[in-house]
Amino acid sequence: SGGGPASGGDAAESTPVAPASHRTRGEYVAWLRRCLRVRTLAAGIVIAAAVATVVVWRGRATPRVPAAAHPACVSGPTTPGIDVSYFQQVIDWRRVYRAGIRFAFIRVSDGADNRDPMFSINWAEARHAGVARGAYQYFRPDQSALAQADLLIGAMRGRDGGADLPPVLDLEVTGGLPIDTVVQRARAWIDRVRSQLGVEPIVYTGGELWRTADASPLAHQPLWLAHYTTTCPIVPAAWPRWTFWQHTDHGAVPGIEGSVDLDVFAGTLGELRALR
């Protein structure tokens, strides 16, 4: 707002004009005093401006550093991993292993009809690279739970070396069904897979699905939690803790073109392998 010389006001004094030579000694002393006052005021303004500049500069020189995107919300060690599907295309699994990734969940299908075209290749190559493997299936509640379970069971049987990790029910959508129906069908899938493969399946899910619904019928299964955050993840009320945590879907790993989901296991590599 207008604060220039034309605006007037008491804050700015112009430099006094020197008195003519015929003025008295008293007038000359008064002139010197006015000069001193004006210069002192000007110096104060310059100093204040300099201080303000330093404050602004220091504020810009020390920006707030965002929290590092790494999981640090469990007491004890964690083991890094990824989950993949055909979206990641051809993966150099040896480079992935050298980058520190120690496990991978590999998609077998989307529902009962859409088999993942990269599953067999990823399954074999991950094993050759030394990456512990588990299979996951994107669950479609509006399709037959048993047909989906049988597809995964068939994919697991006869595979080289078997699975290193339990299979996963990927539960993200309701398919337009009531949540109680979704839970019943998910339980049918879990019971079928357990009875045929002799392992306890893992449930992958996020908190949004259970904001107003009861997940307790699934809470006996190990939880693979999806929550993209740089702070501690929020676990759905039915589970006391997470076993796996997918903390971002925009990770970067050597050997994979583009982004990939990053996960951690709450434990050591030995504890991870003991899940099987």
* Confidence check: pLDDT of 11 > 70: no
CA dihedral 201, 228, 126, 160 (to 10 degrees): 10
Collect contacts of 154-157 with beta carbons under 8 A, ≥24 apart.
155/108, 155/109, 155/119, 156/197
pLDDT tens digits for range 146-198: 999 999 999 998 666 667 899 999 999 999 999 999 999 999 999 999 999 99
Q: Is the pTM value of this prediction over 0.85?
A: no
* Catalytically active residues, by annotation: 83, 172
pLDDT tens digits for range 42-61: 444 333 343 333 333 333 33
3-state helix, strand, coil split of the chain in percent (to 5) is 35, 20, 45
Biggest CA-to-CA distance, the chain: 117
Bridge-based pairing state of the strands 244-251 and 260-265 = antiparallel
pLDDT band at 82 (very low <50, low <70, confident <90, very high): very high
175-193 core/surface letters (b: 16 or more CB in 10 A; e: else): eeeeeeebbebbbebbebb
Q: How far apart are the first and last CA of the chain?
A: 72
- Residue ranges of alpha helices (H) inside the chain are 25-61, 93-98, 119-129, 145-156, 179-197, 269-273
What gap in Å lies between CA 263 and CA 168, rounded to an integer?
14
| Backbone angle region of 217, left / alpha / beta, with phi > 0 → left and psi within -120 to 50 → alpha | alpha
Q: Which candidate, 140, 125, 50, 53, places its Cα nearest to that of 84?
A: 125
